[in-house]
Structure 1
Amino acid sequence: MNALRSVVVCLAIALTGCAFTVSLFAQDRSYGRSVVATQYGIVATSQVSASQAGARVLEQGGSAIDAAIAANAVLNVTEPNTNGMGGDLFAIYWEAKTGKLYGLNASGWAPKALTIEHLRARGVTEMPQYGIDSVTVPGVVDGWAKLHERWGRLPWRDLFQPAIFYADHGFPVAEIIHAWWESDSKGLITNPESQRVFLPGGKVPETGEVFRNPDVARAFRLVAEQGETAFYKGEIAKAILKTSDDLGGTMTADDLASYSAEWVEPIHTTYRDWTVYELPPNGDGIAALEMLNIMERFPADSSGPHSPGELHTRIEAMKLAYADVKAYDGDPRFGKIPVEQLLSKDYAAKRAALIDPARANCTVAPGALGTSDTTYFSVVDREGNILSIIQSNYNNFGSNVTVQGMGFALQDRGGLFSLDAKSPNALAGRKRPFHTIIPAFMQHGDQHIGFGIMGGLNQPLAHAQFVSNVVDYHMNIQAAMEEPRFTDRQQLACKIVIESRVTQATIDALTKMGHVLQVHPDYTSQMGRGQAVLHDSSTGVNFGASDPRADGAAIPEQPKFAAQKP
């Protein structure tokens, strides 16, 4: 029987010619999902319901901005641990008709009275990682408003209806979100309101269990009807201030009312023949660009992206870039951040010269200079406009403090401040902390890609790996997103987390170089969760990719189907 089947296959190949043979090879690939391709818009998020909501907005004539706000609002409901109205937002927008790039920093500042002196007077010697003193002013709602004001097409209130629906009617909890929810259940117990809202019946909702949050539905109705005023000056602001006051926090009405997101100029570098963009400090996108500059000093390894030589170069470049960003990054409104020097090709050459091609460096220091759990999503509309956007609470459920009666947690971004007064990231009132969440964009000729990979300090090194996969190894964006990755959870030491899809031979070779590898499952969420969209301006075709390390999908907009005449 097997022999007969072989004869039939051979005869089929002979009859159909080379095209059949080529298609067999095309199916023999190292990644699981096909890249999404369409002449219409695409919304790529970490939750299918959010991607669908954004795609529906595109179908209704909405812009990439409209779709992103609708998708983000749904993510606030369906991923309450990773993002929400109590968090921050950063965005890069590429306008197709002009080719211009815009950056928005919607990260919040510390309350004016939250200072090093205030904490030390209370006996606090290290920056709190949870609780009310880790809370900074949330920036996301003002970020949505500023984006919508410039590029929104649909009415503001309409964008929040999908989120309100899911909050009121409920949604089945996704498997990865359930696991993260479970991991923070002890933190939620520390706050009565968090326990009431997010532990119904005293426990974490199971995978597939329908979870409802009528309180956050109420908050979204207020924002939909009253705009950002409801959040920063109105009823939601009052609820935030009461929550803070009850816990001994320092936030005031003026801390909220005075806040405004900031338009910024994206920073960039070239990697081979591509241009890669990130946002400037207080974020750590600069680390991704410096890492790419260092990697560029070495040729891509012909053995492939997860060969020992390639991975060694990437790991060592990461350590050097991270040492610098830890030493020099902060809020540029409070001190000069040496962006130009850190992005200099000459400086990268000096840092690259420190890499020993045969040995891991376990004690990396910052270079000598002259005088941040999250959700990322991306949208491309049918005109080719691209929004690369990221939003976060920082840790799971942020500070673990939930706003009374509003159903969302407040972020703990303040935990990233330093209590060392000499640090560029030293805590100060009305100062923004060092930030880990970074959207990115890259382009070459007619190819324009909005991308991001979340996961705290994992993000810059994950960005650099994605860029190299596209540029050096000519992968499509889905393959580049799925490619095995490494990460460094301890930062600057030799302990590296790596996925098990890397071969044992590579793991053995890296171990001999001095890397201490922790091998995790094939698609571990330790590597972060990414999304990407690509617009080809020569053909008008859009492409979307969604990371299998998340629960989401890249969903295309459906065109209007007219009845065909017989």
Structure 2
Amino acid sequence: MSRSRASAFGTRYAVSTGHHLASQAAADVLDANGTLVDAMLAASAVLAVALPHATSLGGCAMMLTYDASSRRLHALNGSGVAPAAAEPARFPDGIPARGPHTWVVPGLVRFWAEAHAAHGRTPWRELLAPAIALAGQGMGFSSELARNLGNAKPEVRRQPGFAQAFLAEGQDRCAGSLYRQPALAETLSAVAMEGADAFYRGAVAQRLCAYAESVGALMGREDLAAVRAAWSEPVSQSYGEWKVSVMPPNSVGVLMLAQLARLQPVLGEAREARLYTQIMEASRWLPRLRDRVADPGAAWPWPSPAEPSARLGDPREHRDGDPGDTAGIVLADAQGNGLVMLQSVFQPFGSGCVDPGTGILMNNRLYEFSLDPAAHNRLAPGKRPVHTLNPYIVQAGGEPVLYAVSPGGVSQTTTGVQCIGNVLLDGMSLPAAVDAPRWSLSRDGEVMCEPGFSAAVVEALRASGLAVTTDSLHPFYFGSIKAVRRLPQGVLEAAADLRREACAITR
């Protein structure tokens, strides 16, 4: 059964996001002559209201942009940093998965401000108006939010503020029920009128830090005031006739490039041969390489493609927990501009902590740090953790041909390689590329293959000694691609993957 919406074709712009109201908000901004960044900001705020299990003002973001006038790509890193009090010595029993000690200082609102200062023209009060109305007047409780709420474990549910935010009369809110978030509407209104400083230095910061103190969190006023979002150059990798660009470390996007590098020798072979090679290579080193990604400026020595057996050290310790959850935005216009953006609180419902005074759910991204003194990703105050957000842009002859994102933790990288292969190597239409059965790796390295995945590849993997399962699969490992493809005559094709909630619009 097809999962994706039928692809939409347009000549003015294309939008694909993780919720239909976010896609509509972006389209409305573009119809009113706003920029792509204006549209991103409007959609991003709506996602933070509609999908709080995946994204929140208490989370972070990363984005790649392509500017057609300069023919240049840029990367904007809005990931949060560890609070000043987050010393490794505070965690003698390990970093907890949930709760007040798992917060990094949120970077999303500062990310908005930096992006808007560079490429926006519509006032914030107009861009945030749809999100404010949805939070204050109410909206239907999302089916995706309800699905995640039903899966929420006691460790998440017992966190301060969680029940008040997501339960009604002691019961989980149901999909389609009216969902109002008045405190969040007030917070967004303050940000709309006063800008990012309202969040990081003003009344919102004061209320959020009062909550942090009351629950014993590590974040303080000085931490919030110091948050910055940084522009940088993307990292790129040739892949046959194409160039694939991703965020630099601390993003795990470089792990996707490393997978592409290992596929270069089999580019001309049949699809099954490429899938087999990718899975064998990734299962061998991907779980071990992840903790070598670190904050920008730290060393990141990934092995050469010519040395597939390079010593990678011990695998990172297995950690129980849910796969990461994320919300994505992909935008492109007729002038050739485009952007890909992801925002997240890490695992579903992040830390589980929701401040009743601001309506903000806080992330649990601190859990991504290592406590190993030798690790590149070792916890340190003011440092960004290894980050699963992996937006990517593919170019041919210097011009973008594919913009895409997907949630799914580190499996964003394996999903990305499969999407690129489906579209560019196998010539699939965008909906077919999105719908094609995928594989992923579990946290303990088991290969998971969706129903309909190549039986010949599954058999070959098992014969090679890999553990492969096609049963009882956690759906979140397989992501939900949002993608826009630029066709040769400038027509834009958009698709949205309904493995999770998503919507594509073109005009």
Q: Please, what TM-score do these two structures have when normalized by structure 1?
A: 0.83
Paired residue secondary structure (2:58):
coil
Partner residue of 1:126 out of 94, 110, 118: 94
Give 1:449 shift. 1.9
* Residues 1:241 and 2:209 aligned together: yes
Paired with 1:275 and 1:40, the residues of 2 have a C-alpha distance of 25
Paired with 2:290 and 2:331, the residues of 1 have a C-alpha distance of 31
* Aligned 8 A contact 2:23 2:503 in 1: yes
Superposition pairs of residues 76-155 of structure 1, within 5 angstroms: 76-119=48-91, 124-155=92-123
Paired with 1:39 and 1:211, the residues of 2 have a C-alpha distance of 36
Number of aligned residues: 497
- The one-letter amino acid of 1:294's match is R
Q: Which has the larger radius of gyration?
A: 1
Q: Equivalent residue for 2:334?
A: 382
Partner residue of 2:417 out of 458, 464, 475: 464
* Aligned 8 A contact 1:377 1:530 in 2: no
Give 1:384 shift. 2.6
Q: Equivalent residue for 1:366?
A: 312
Paired with 2:337 and 2:69, the residues of 1 have a C-alpha distance of 8
Give 1:187 shift. 3.9
* Aligned 8 A contact 1:378 1:533 in 2: yes
Q: Equivalent residue for 1:517?
A: 468
Paired with 2:2 and 2:160, the residues of 1 have a C-alpha distance of 47
Q: Equivalent residue for 1:186?
A: 154
Paired with 1:187 and 1:70, the residues of 2 have a C-alpha distance of 32
Q: Equivalent residue for 1:421?
A: 373
Deviations 1:127-152 (CA, angstroms, capped at 9, x unpaired): 12111111010000010111111111
Paired with 2:52 and 2:282, the residues of 1 have a C-alpha distance of 31
* Residues 1:72 and 2:36 aligned together: no
Q: Equivalent residue for 1:539?
A: 489
* Aligned 8 A contact 2:280 2:461 in 1: no
Structure 2: segments with no counterpart, 5+ residues = 315-323
Paired with 2:23 and 2:252, the residues of 1 have a C-alpha distance of 27
Q: Equivalent residue for 2:478?
A: 527
Partner residue of 2:500 out of 550, 556, 561: 550
Paired residue secondary structure (1:393):
strand
Paired with 2:33 and 2:443, the residues of 1 have a C-alpha distance of 46
* Residues 1:160 and 2:128 aligned together: yes
* Residues 1:57 and 2:29 aligned together: yes
Partner residue of 2:293 out of 329, 337, 340: 329
- The one-letter amino acid of 2:440's match is T
Paired with 1:350 and 1:37, the residues of 2 have a C-alpha distance of 43
Superposition pairs of residues 167-178 of structure 1, within 5 angstroms: 167-178=135-146
Structure 2 CA distance for partners of 1:525 and 1:276, relative to 1, 3 Å: same
Paired residue secondary structure (2:361):
coil
Paired residue secondary structure (2:360):
coil
- The one-letter amino acid of 2:228's match is S
Q: Equivalent residue for 1:20?
A: none
Give 1:188 shift. 4.4
Paired with 1:277 and 1:69, the residues of 2 have a C-alpha distance of 22
Give 1:285 shift. 0.6
* Residues 1:206 and 2:174 aligned together: yes
Paired residue secondary structure (1:141):
helix
* Residues 1:231 and 2:181 aligned together: no
Structure 2 CA distance for partners of 1:522 and 1:249, relative to 1, 3 Å: closer
* Aligned 8 A contact 1:287 1:321 in 2: no
Give 1:186 shift. 2.8
Q: Equivalent residue for 2:321?
A: none
Deviations 1:372-418 (CA, angstroms, capped at 9, x unpaired): 61112211133231110000000111111112311121111100111
Give 1:534 shift. 2.4
* Aligned 8 A contact 1:374 1:455 in 2: yes
Paired with 2:175 and 2:472, the residues of 1 have a C-alpha distance of 20
Structure 2 CA distance for partners of 1:98 and 1:519, relative to 1, 3 Å: same
Paired with 2:419 and 2:490, the residues of 1 have a C-alpha distance of 23
Q: Equivalent residue for 2:320?
A: none
Structure 2 CA distance for partners of 1:522 and 1:489, relative to 1, 3 Å: closer
Segment drifting more, 412-421 vs 188-197: 188-197
Deviations 1:417-446 (CA, angstroms, capped at 9, x unpaired): 111122111111111111111111111134
Paired with 2:456 and 2:284, the residues of 1 have a C-alpha distance of 26
Q: Equivalent residue for 2:363?
A: 411
Structure 2 CA distance for partners of 1:470 and 1:523, relative to 1, 3 Å: farther
- The one-letter amino acid of 2:307's match is K
Structure 2 CA distance for partners of 1:480 and 1:157, relative to 1, 3 Å: same
Superposition pairs of residues 481-500 of structure 1, within 5 angstroms: 481-491=434-444, 493=445, 495-500=446-451
Paired with 1:247 and 1:521, the residues of 2 have a C-alpha distance of 37
Partner residue of 1:271 out of 209, 218, 239: 239
Deviations 1:283-337 (CA, angstroms, capped at 9, x unpaired): 11110000000011224542x3xx3x3332111222345256325211134x322
Partner residue of 1:255 out of 223, 227, 236: 223
Q: Equivalent residue for 1:393?
A: 345
Give 1:68 shift. 0.9
Paired with 2:427 and 2:491, the residues of 1 have a C-alpha distance of 18
* Aligned 8 A contact 1:402 1:410 in 2: yes
Paired residue secondary structure (2:494):
strand
Paired residue secondary structure (1:337):
coil
Q: Please, what TM-score do these two structures have when normalized by structure 2?
A: 0.93
Q: Equivalent residue for 1:8?
A: none
Segment drifting more, 506-515 vs 438-447: 506-515
Q: Equivalent residue for 1:348?
A: 305
Superposition pairs of residues 29-40 of structure 1, within 5 angstroms: 33-40=5-12
Paired residue secondary structure (1:349):
coil
- The one-letter amino acid of 1:527's match is F
Partner residue of 2:189 out of 192, 214, 221: 221
- The one-letter amino acid of 1:533's match is V
Paired residue secondary structure (2:470):
strand
Partner residue of 2:255 out of 277, 287, 299: 287
- The one-letter amino acid of 1:422's match is A
Paired with 1:215 and 1:526, the residues of 2 have a C-alpha distance of 33
Structure 2 CA distance for partners of 1:378 and 1:238, relative to 1, 3 Å: same
Segment drifting more, 127-136 vs 505-514: 505-514
Paired with 2:459 and 2:290, the residues of 1 have a C-alpha distance of 30
Paired with 1:330 and 1:212, the residues of 2 have a C-alpha distance of 38
- The one-letter amino acid of 2:240's match is R
Q: Equivalent residue for 1:443?
A: 395
Q: Equivalent residue for 1:25?
A: none
Give 1:472 shift. 1.7
Structure 2 CA distance for partners of 1:505 and 1:449, relative to 1, 3 Å: closer
* Aligned 8 A contact 1:284 1:325 in 2: no
Structure 2 CA distance for partners of 1:484 and 1:365, relative to 1, 3 Å: farther
Structure 2 CA distance for partners of 1:396 and 1:276, relative to 1, 3 Å: same
